[in-house]
Every structure is written in C-alpha cells, then in structure tokens.
Amino acid sequence: MTKQTSKIKYFEYARKSSEGEDRQVQSIDRQHEENRKTITRYDLEVIDSFSESRSAKLPNNRPAFSEMIRRIEKGEANGIICWHLNRLSRNPLESGILQQLLADGKVQSIQTKEKEYLPSDNAIIISVESGMSSQFSKDLAKAVKSGIDKKIIKGLAPVLAPLGYLNTKHEVRGENYIIKDPERFELIKKAWNMMLTGEYTIPKLLKIMSDDWGMRTRTTRHRGGGKINKSTMYNILTNIFYTGLFIYNGEVGNGKHEPMITMDEFDMVQKLLGRYGKPRAKSHIFTYTGTMICGECGSSVTACTKTKLIKTKNELKDYTFYYCSHRKKGTENCSQRAFIPLKNMEDMIKEEIDKYTISEKFRDWALRILAEEHSDEVRERELIYKTQLGDIEVSQRELDNLITMRMRDLINDEQYASRKNELIEKIAILKQKINETESRALNWLQYTEQVFNFAQVAKIKFEDPETTIEDKKSIFTALGWNYIVKDQKLFILPNDWLEPIEKKRKAVESEINRLELEKTFATKEQNTRLGVLCPILRSRRDLNPQPPT
C-alpha cells in the first residue's frame, strides 16, 4: 500500500457468477469476509458496498457494477476493494473501462486480497491479468459446453429433475444422472394415468394429490415441502421429460431416465389440457393438398385436422376436412365455404380411379407389348439414382471441408453457420429425392410398373389400409393434371395416357374375354385385333404418357 491510500475513498465489490464458475470461486459472503480483513489490515475508508450474482463474461450484464462505475465517474469514490481482479471483469470491454479509469486517475487504487493496482503501474500488468481472466472465462465456457455435450450424447439429461425424479450427486463429475424419486415417482405416474381418463380437472386432481395422498414438493436447501399448486401441476403435465425425452437449449434429446408415460399418452394429455397444453411441434401431412384448386375463385384447396373427445369410448379422434383456402386476393366473396370430410374426398377419388381400372388379363396382354420400353424406363431410373447419389457425395464432402475450414479459422462463425445450413438443407432434399427414386423402383417395379400396371393395381392399392400417404398421393396425382373442387365435388381432367384406357376399356375387355373363349387366334393375330380397338399398341412416344411416380 502507498501512503496516498489513506486519502482514498473506496467502494467494496463482491461478485459470484450464476454459471458453472460458481463452484470454483468464493461465495459472496466469503468474499465480503476477505474484503473486511483487507479493509482492517490497511485501515481503508469504505463509503459503500456492492454485490451481485451475475456473470462477467458479457459486458453490461451487471447492474451493481455499472452503478459503481457511474458513481466513480461522478467522483463519489476513487478506489475499489475486491477479493480478486477477476471479480471485477472477465470481458475485454469492462477490463478496458477499469484500465482507462486508472489511467485517467479517476481510480487511484484497486485493492485485492493479495495485490494493489495503481495508476503508476505498468498498464501491461493489468492488461495481462485482465486478459487471463477473460481467457479463463472462455476456456471455462468451452469446457462446460463440452461436458454438457458429452452428457447429452450419453443420454444423461443436463437438467434439474422434475417432480417424481431426483438428480444423483455422488457420481464422478459430469457423470451424474437422473433416477426415480422413490417417494413420488409412482404417485406422479398415477396422476398422469388419472388425467388420461379424461374424468379429472386440474383442481380435482390437485385436491386428491394434496389431501388424499398427502403429497408435497421436494425439499431443497432454500425451499420446498409445500403443497403442489396449479402452476406446478401444469408444468408436470406439459413436460416432455416424463416420456423419456428431455429438452436442452431448445433441442430434444433421448434420455436414459425411466419414462412414466408414452409419447401418445403425452399427446393425448396435451389435447385434454386445451390451450394450457403444449403439444409437440408437428406439421400435419395432408395427402391431397398442393394439387386441387377451388373451381370458383382459383385459391388452393387446403386441409385441417380437428380433434374430438368421444366420451362413450373415452378416446380422442382426429377428423380431417378439405376446404377452399380463400388465399387469393379478391376472393372474399367466394361462396365455397363448405368443408369436405376426408372420407368423402377419398370416395370421389375412388370414383375417378374406377374409370381407368382394368382386369389382370388386360394388363398382362399390354405389358407383353410394353416390355422392351419398360426396360428402357428402368435403365433411365438407375441412371437418375446414380446421379443423385453422386450429388449427395459431393455435398457431403463440401460439408466435411467446411468443418475443417472452421476448425482452422479460415472462415468465421457466421460464414460457417450460413453455408452449413445451406448444405444440410441441400443434402436433405437430395436424400428425399433418392427416397422418392427408391420408392418408385421398389413399390411400382414389383407390379412391373407403367401405365397398365397402374390401371390394374391403382384401385387395389388405394383402398389398401396399409398404403402409405406417399403412395396414395402418387396415385392421386397420376390421375390428371387439373384438379378442381366446386360445390363439394371433385373434377379431374385426366392425363393423356389414361384417356385411351377410359374410352376403349370396356371394348378391349370384352374382346379379350371373347378371344380367350375362342382360343382360335395366334398371339400375333390377337394383338392385331385388339390394337384395332385401342390405340395402346402405338408407340408410347406418340402417346407421350406421364406414368405414375
């Protein structure tokens, strides 16, 4: 200490971070205790004291620190007492403010437990020590993030266990996990099951839990041990953690903790809670949207799903409806306001498919004629598949190179994030296209694909309950090129390749049956006689068909 110190008026400052650093520094009370020893030892004059539990990693994050600096600049004090220099700052901006105050003489002394910093000191000393504090903060943040990432990969949720679970405290650092609370797990699970019946309101359930079961919140060092309130109950019933998942930094992870309920049960409770629930974010995939337009205003036909509780069966059931979106400008007066149930829509689609449905005999005859051109189609599809795979390999290599460039600091975070998102999206789209190509090859090639196969199997496949949404949409879009909905009726202008089948189907089927009964004509002559009835035998290049995908 210098002799000048006795003339200095000090502010005392203590800080404890609210982050992981907490475990590695003195508590605020302990810092004040050490500061008092310093004050007594050097007989310092203290005019005010500041303390806060805030991180110093980012600037302008500490109200008490900012207030102390403001009062120093007003001349109320010209010295600071703290346990360690890193209590004052861990970021370059606020470190620079302290250095400038020292350089300007507005701060005559920064006194710590072990050292005093004066305006006459070499500026490099405080710069180095401040820089070390800032770097320590960065290194600590990286270490904490790395540890959390490793826990997430292992399925160890880095979160505070909700009611019914407990955080372990005895494992190796970073290896603690979440276990069942032996006192509350089964009771909370029972509450979930009671809610799933649809017969209990939140107040009714709370009364049973508190009065009948005597359930209380978990007791911690500072709080707990009271009755469960409505807010806590809603937090329980909207927390996806109880399904075995967990959310950290907005991302969902798979936890190793034992789930209480299934995902379907969680979704059902969210629907029962109505506006208080927190359903999982999910976009409905409506099979027939994106194709139909309103016959009156030209707006797209969209769909929605509504959920209704069937009390007699105690079940939640979804109902899907199609309707005019009225999204085009000037369509406010469109009269098409009716909702078409999904069943009605599919019944109309079946009627359209019926127009082009042919017998297996018809298909077998046609496919013999089209076999060679069908082989060409398969070869073309294989070439497309190989090209798509090559595109994915190129994009994946670029993504790998991008990661390497970021690790070597050849690009900044913003450039990395932007290009990374572009590549991830591109790869996802390419993979989707490959899936579509594979789907075409696997699903339709088993029926030998192409036009007549479609006409023979489309109805069977469309009505099969196991048929996927993608296949149903594929059949639907193969029917035509203009889809109009008006007055709750569906009108489809058929594709060119289906028109010959619709016009000649009955005549060809009749002739096939007659020729089969007579068994007097050779195959070549049969084909000639049938070709007179139907233009199918003409080259597909002339017909220019667009086969189903």
Question: What digits encode the pLDDT tens for the residues 136-167?
Answer: 555 555 655 555 666 666 667 778 889 999 98
Confidence of residue 418 (pLDDT cuts 50, 70, 90): confident
Number of independent structural domains in the chain: 3
Residue 148, pLDDT score = 61
Any domain includes 102: yes
Question: What digits encode the pLDDT tens for the residues 212-261?
Answer: 998 888 887 667 778 889 988 999 999 888 988 887 776 677 788 889 98
DSSP assignment string, 152-190 = HHHT---SPPPTTEEE--SSSTT---EEE-TTTHHHHHH
Choice between 425 and 323, residue whose per-residue pLDDT is larger: 323
pLDDT surpasses 90 at 274: no
Confidence of residue 190 (pLDDT cuts 50, 70, 90): very high
Percentage above 90 pLDDT, the chain: 24
Same domain, residue pair 297 and 270 = no
Same domain, residue pair 194 and 128 = no
Same domain, residue pair 86 and 211 = no
Any domain includes 420: no
Any domain includes 403: no
Q: What is the pTM of this model?
A: 0.39
Any domain includes 485: no
Final residue before a domain boundary, out of 115, 145, 175: 145
Both tokens of 289, joined, read: 């949207």
Range of the domain at 332: 292-351
Shortest CA distance to 424 belongs to which of 403, 397, 396? 396
Give the pairing of strands 45-52 and 9-15.
parallel
Residue 164, pLDDT score = 92
Question: What digits encode the pLDDT tens for the residues 436-450?
Answer: 655 554 443 443 345
Same domain, residue pair 306 and 204 = no
pLDDT surpasses 80 at 317: no
The Cα diameter of the chain in Å comes to 128
Shortest CA distance to 102 belongs to which of 87, 83, 85? 85
State the virtual CA torsion across 448, 451, 457, 458 in degrees, nearest 10.
Answer: 140
Same domain, residue pair 31 and 140 = yes
Confidence of residue 322 (pLDDT cuts 50, 70, 90): very high
Report the C-alpha gap between 408 and 421 in whole angstroms.
Answer: 19
The DSSP output letter for 300 is B
Residue 541, pLDDT score = 37
Same domain, residue pair 22 and 128 = yes
Same domain, residue pair 175 and 112 = no
